[in-house]
Amino acid sequence: MLRGTPVSPGIVVGRVYKYRRGFSVVKRIKLRSAEVKIEVDKFRGACRQAGVEITEIEKTMLRQLPKGQPAPFEAHRMLLDDPAFTGRVEREIKSRRLNASFLVRELLDEYEKKFAALDSPLMRERINDLQDVGGRIIRNLKGEMQPALSDAGEQVILVAEELSPSETTNLLKKRVIGLATDSGGPTAHWAIVARALRIPTVVGLGSLRERTQNGDLIILDARRGTVLIDPSAAQVKRYRSLERDWREEERSLRGLRSLPACTRDGERVGIMVNMEMPEEMETVKEYGADGVGLFRTEFLFVEEIPGEEEQFRIYKELAKRMKKRPAVIRTLDAGGDKFVSKLGQDRELNPFLGLRGIRLCLSNRRLFETQLRAILRASHYGNIQLMFPLISGLAELRQALEVLEHTRQQLARKKIPYNSDMQVGVMIEVPAAALVATALARLVDFFSIGSNDLIQYTLAVDRGNQSISYLYEPLHPAVLRLIDMTVRAAKEGGIHVSICGEMASDPALVPLLVGLGLDSLSVSPAAVPAVKQAIRSMEGRKTRKAVQNILSSDDPELIRRQLERRVRASRRKFGVSYGKGR
């Protein structure tokens, strides 16, 4: 069995089709002086043709994607107009007198080495967009065709190193029932498309291509992020049954999209989504969520440090897309596992305990104020809310609020409109913040519990370290008591409290979170229907009483079994609730 990262949930049993991206072979050709202008014109024509092709692919994809879901090709178009890419190739054709296809390949290789060296999964994924555009230009220069999946056959699980958004257009032919890649991550543009198309997908499997051949039978469980190679007859029978159950549940859950997340006794729980790319904005409506509980801004800082106008444009678009729905923008949370080279960060021996989150922002006030101005300006156009990450105590929070107030005054002096009543909150993701939550609640409008980091810091476990991953336990009594403490502090302070992270997206843990008194859950978009179904199948008052009994236990496994029993009992009793709600 191989383990990876689930991107789009589902279970499928199928045959392997190994897809290998075709890279054109290019030669280094020295040009005569008279050929230089011709080569520049040829390169410009290849770029224009690439733009036309991308537009056509986008039109095809938009016809297949859910209504309102954008096709992620904005980055491709920006590359075609980027002086650092196409402009540089033109300059080098003239200065070095070399052929365009060689120079494009040389530049692609340079970027790939540079991006791969950065400790940023998002940055490494962006090289995929660059390779897609560059490969298209090279093929146009050489008059070659885009490789396709025309010989893939029917009902296959596509196995690849990585994919690009344009390659996913081949998936629309209904030949592919599942996707499994050795590299890549959930923020890749093609992965966003896979989620929108509801194709079960697992990424980061490492060696699946090496360990399989075309036609091999495999089982892809994209709920848990696993792939079974050469399964037994009993495993195939079991998973085909699970696949049928999953497809039936998918059909049932779609009916919940327009219904509120209300318990059987009428208690409303907010269901928000986490997102980090502008292309994901439409998932709020697509999945029937109440808003955006966490809009990560790190993607903006991956390649360059963005200016105020660039940030304002994206935040404003978010505000207008959400209309009256809330959208919580988290200020830059770089550092730790999110290294941004352009910020001039030094490599640290222990980056998770170093200059990250709000600490980094406070140490770079100009950067911080630029982002705050952009967020404040965007708040004029919708229900934008602001959230500070990795707050550890009152001193940090007061400093952040002082910078925010200074930024407000800057805009007021220039008579630039913003929402003076914009909600401001903090992430509770270190034990220190939970322990002083009562004091923090007096200064902010809401809490958002970042469960991933809270677990990591409470248990001293790096969640990305496979050798100690068994210690990463969401149901550890210490973690649950810190969450309970935070919720109680929020209730006493009269402020809203939500939770984001993997805990919130797990339907099996929903009774626990609702029973603890969370006002809203912020989940991955694809998890919205299942989480909503779990809420609509429970009774709030009984769940709270049961959870208080559960909290008295010191055994995570016992807690897990108790929760599973409650979930199974609710499903047997109520199933998927399609009542009118309240």
The single-letter DSSP state of residue 177 is E
CB atoms within 10 A of CB 578: 12
Using alpha carbons, select from 203, 55, 228, 11 the residue that is nearest to residue 121.
203
Q: Which helix (H) or strand (E) holds 521?
A: strand 520-523
Active-site residue 47, yes or no? no
Helices (H), 230-381: 233-253, 283-287, 308-322, 358-363, 365-378
- Pairing mode, if any, of strands 291-295 and 424-428? unpaired
Which of 76, 189, 476, 496 is catalytic? The answer is: 189
Task: Tell me which amino acid residue 101 is.
Answer: S
Using alpha carbons, select from 306, 24, 258 the residue that is nearest to residue 139.
24
Residue 286 to residue 196: CA distance in whole angstroms: 9
The strand order across the sheet containing 226-229 reads 2-3, 226-229, 217-221, 11-19, 156-160, 176-181, 201-203, 5-8
Task: Count Cα atoms within 13 angstroms, Cβ side, for 560.
Answer: 9
Is residue 420 a contact partner of residue 402, using CB atoms and an 8 Å limit?
no
Is residue 475 a contact partner of residue 469, using CB atoms and an 8 Å limit?
no
Residue 517 to residue 233: CA distance in whole angstroms: 45
Burial class (CB in 10 A: 0-12, 13-18, 19+), 186: buried
Task: Tell me which amino acid residue 194 is.
Answer: A
Which of 47, 262, 361, 500 is catalytic? The answer is: 500
Residue 419 to residue 383: CA distance in whole angstroms: 9
Active-site residue 500, yes or no? yes
Is residue 306 a contact partner of residue 300, using CB atoms and an 8 Å limit?
yes
Is residue 212 a contact partner of residue 150, using CB atoms and an 8 Å limit?
no
**Residue 274 main-chain phi, psi, to 5 deg:** -95, 140
Which residues are designated catalytic?
A: 189, 500
